[in-house]
Amino acid sequence: MFKRRDYVELYEKDQAKWALVRNVNTVTKPSTLLPGDYVWLDLKTGREFDVPIGAVVKLCDSGQIQVLDDEGNEHWISPQNATNIRPMHPTSIHGVEDMIRLGDLNEAGILRNLLIRYREKLIYVIGALFLVKT
């Protein structure tokens, strides 16, 4: 697993790809979000398989946060519901070939990584000792 300094080195090598590396261990406050930041959006729909979805921040004005999720849906988040937003680890933004390197190694992170790789027609990923084909 990468350490934080490894991500900083990657960021310095390819700033366009990694955008902005932040301390992902801190709680996100609406005032700390900037347009272009990637976040996990927990919609809490009450369905059986409720998983946070990836989203990118589009606008942060007047207390409201506008995000565009991975499915292309637009959401407006009020400050009261800002607890449903968590920052996304840099490895989850563009995806990785070896899923053990995901910083968000959870159900949402794995599903988003598979979605990204599928959209890029990179259908094989490594998942530790098993191979996943999308």
Segment 92-131, tens digit of pLDDT: 999 888 888 888 888 899 899 989 988 988 877 676 655 5
Is 3 in a helix, a strand, or coil?
Answer: coil
Number of neighbouring beta carbons within 10 Å of residue 19: 17
CATH no., domain 22-87: 2.30.30
Q: For position 33, what pLDDT does the model report?
A: 83
CA 76 centroid distance within chain: 18
- Residue 72's pLDDT band, with cuts at 50, 70 and 90, is very high
Domain with CATH 2.30.30 in the chain: 22-87
Q: According to the model, what pLDDT value does residue 20 have?
A: 38
Q: What's the pTM?
A: 0.67
Q: CB count, 10 Å around CB of 87?
A: 20
Q: Which residues contact 134 (CB under 8 A, 6 or more apart)?
A: 114, 117, 118, 123, 125
Both tokens assigned to 112: 């988003």
pLDDT, tens digit, 9 for 90 and up, residues 1-34: 444 455 555 555 554 444 434 434 444 554 578 8
DSSP 3-state percent helix, strand, coil across the chain (nearest 5): 35, 25, 40
